[in-house]
Amino acid sequence: MLTWFKALDRVLKGEATRLDSLRGGSIALPFGGLSVLLILLGAVYGACMGAFALMGRWGTDTQASGYLQMLASASKVPMLFSLTLLVTFPSLYVFNALVGSRLGFASVGRLMVAALAVTMAVLASFGTILVFFSLCTTSYPFIVLLNVVMFAIAGVLGMRFLLQTLHRLAVARELDDAAAIVPTPIAVTAPTEVPAESIAPQAYSSELPASVSKPPGALDRIEGHAFGPHVRSIFKIWILVFGLVGAQMGWVLRPFIGNPNAPFTFFRERESNFFEAVVNKIGEVATWDTKKAKPARQRHDDRAGMPLPPATTKTYTGD
Amino acid sequence: MRSFLRQTDRLLRGRDVAGDESPRSALPRLLLTIGLFGVLYGATMGTFGGLTAERWLQPVYSGLKVPLLLLVTFVLSLPSFFVLNTILGLRADFAYVLRSLVAMQAGITVILASLAPFTAFWYASVEDYNAALMFNALMFAIASIAGQFTLKRSYKPLIARDPRHRLMMRGWLLIYAFVGIQMGWVLRPFVGSPDAPTRFFRQGAWGNAYVEVFHIAGRAMGW
């Protein structure tokens, strides 16, 4: 378990995706262990998501269904990510092979797990803030909006990591090839940045830990040639598809947050789809009537619900 | 005591950054600064209702709440900030980052404490409760803007080492303010209305500051 956490830490710090770690053409990480960890992280965030439903029912006779919602959300967030991956992975792999990428099945799989690790770690780390707001907020749309923002930030960072790592894999592969042709060891291209010490004021620089050549972070771009443009566009298209499928998957798996006015259900009725709902919501914002939309649950006073935002990103998974 | 005050002086002058102590030994001192000076301002804040026999608890409560406001906000915001720093590749500097963040909060409390006489003077001269609220809001605004300078100053060497720290510093201010505003709302009352009984938390006062603002704005717009 500890080694899994260490592996996660290495991915986050960017150590696992440094050029010298990628020389074998794949990211070295414990695939199974990290997957288990990802499920746990997703469950942590899911439980934080479900806290709102629990707080809304706290002290009432439906408190038990609040716990149920929490459990349901904790199981649904890992489900959301793994099912989306399950749907999109085969075609990604096939098209990736079709355009002549040299990434093998295992390499693509590891790449996915590493990218999801970044997403889930960011998401889970937002959990404390989410629970705090769940504790003191009665407005359901506010919590939905907050979740949308958190998912969007985590999603963008994960996707950026994916594209950068893909690029690095290509650079590492090229270095491997060069080393195969010319048997002299080739120095791994260090990031060409001005050594920080020369800029830093002398009084301070002695105090900070000395690191002249900064190791690149997990999201930094490394100089060098990338894969062929096809492989990159395949992954870019895949990111779009992942986002679309993920959004719809989130819609199918609703409710995540659990409207406090609605009774607990593990799944809701299958109605319309995510994209139709977004279009409807945009229409709703224009015609939203605050007086009509007052929630039935009134903990302290009559606080009307805030209209749902029209801007719902593709990582939207609210219900 | 004397060395503690001297260190606080160094903190204000921005000489604390590269001080001769490690982040590890600086943290307890900075936390003590937050506690002491936060209580000082909070207690002054709570004297609005007067120091009568039945209201003497309000200064105590308010005194506890100011450090609580800062530190709980800090603890809640820290995990996400830690992960974001890590994936930007800034983990190696995190001890210094942590210290800068705590130093910022210490700076805020010291500035607040220095403004406490103004608050006391205001209470002595104006009797209106809403005016007292506004005055305290102003003092907090001044302290948090001034506190940002403390943060910028202690971040300067970090930014010089790695420009990505600038992005993270802005990110921190965003997260901290987002959580802190709501925390301030939840921890009400700070001033303590003279008509209401003294309580640690106001009855039924939970709710969301942002939603409230939205409603007030909505009402003002006539929605």
Summarised one tens digit per residue, pLDDT across range A65-80 is 888 889 999 999 999 9
pLDDT higher than 80, residue A201: no
Nearest CA in chain A to B21: A207
- Residue B70 has a pLDDT of 94
pLDDT higher than 70, residue A146: yes
Contact A118 B87 (CB under 8 A): yes
Q: Is B24 an interface residue toward A (CB < 8 Å)?
A: no
Contact B208 A126 (CB under 8 A): no
Higher pLDDT, A225 or B8: B8
For residue B4, how many other CB atoms are within 10 A of its CB? 12
Nearest CA in chain A to B180: A129
pLDDT higher than 90, residue A26: no
Average pLDDT value for residue range A21-48? 88
In chain B, residues with a C-beta closer than 8 Å to the C-beta of A14 are 87, 89
- Residue B169 has a pLDDT of 93
**Predicted confidence band at B23 (pLDDT cuts at 50, 70, 90)?**
low
pLDDT tens by residue, A49-102: 998 888 888 778 888 888 888 999 999 999 999 999 999 888 888 888 888 777
By Cβ distance, the residue of A136, A211, A290 closest to B186 is: A136
Alpha-carbon gap, residue A50 to A258, rounded angstroms: 7
What is the interface pTM, i.e. ipTM, of the complex?
0.84
Residue B195: both structure tokens together: 């008509």
With vertex at residue A171, the alpha carbon angle to CA A165 and CA A174, rounded to the nearest 5 degrees, is: 145
Nearest CA in chain B to A114: B87
Alpha helices, DSSP H, located in chain A: 2-13, 31-56, 63-98, 105-125, 127-136, 140-181, 202-205, 229-252, 274-286
pLDDT tens by residue, A227-240: 667 788 888 888 88
Please say whether the beta carbons of A50 and A259 come within 8 A.
Answer: no
Q: Is A133 an interface residue toward B (CB < 8 Å)?
A: yes
- Residue A253 has a pLDDT of 85
DSSP for B63-99, please give it. HHHHHHHHHHHHHHHHHHHHHHHHHTT-GGGHHHHHH
pLDDT higher than 70, residue B18: no
- Residue A194 has a pLDDT of 43
In chain B, residues with a C-beta closer than 8 Å to the C-beta of A200 are 157, 160-161
A171 CA: distance to closest CA in chain B (Å): 19
* Residue A291: DSSP 8-state: T
pLDDT higher than 80, residue A288: no
Packed helices A229-252 and A274-286: angle between N→C axes, nearest 10 degrees: 70
Please say whether the beta carbons of A316 and A250 come within 8 A.
Answer: yes
Q: Is A201 an interface residue toward B (CB < 8 Å)?
A: yes
Q: Which is nearest to A88 in space by CA: A162, A138, A179?
A: A162
- Residue B105 has a pLDDT of 92
- Residue A130 has a pLDDT of 94
Residue labelled with tokens 């893909």: A166
Average pLDDT value for residue range A314-318? 44
Rounded to two decimals, the pTM is: 0.79
Average pLDDT value for residue range B170-182? 93
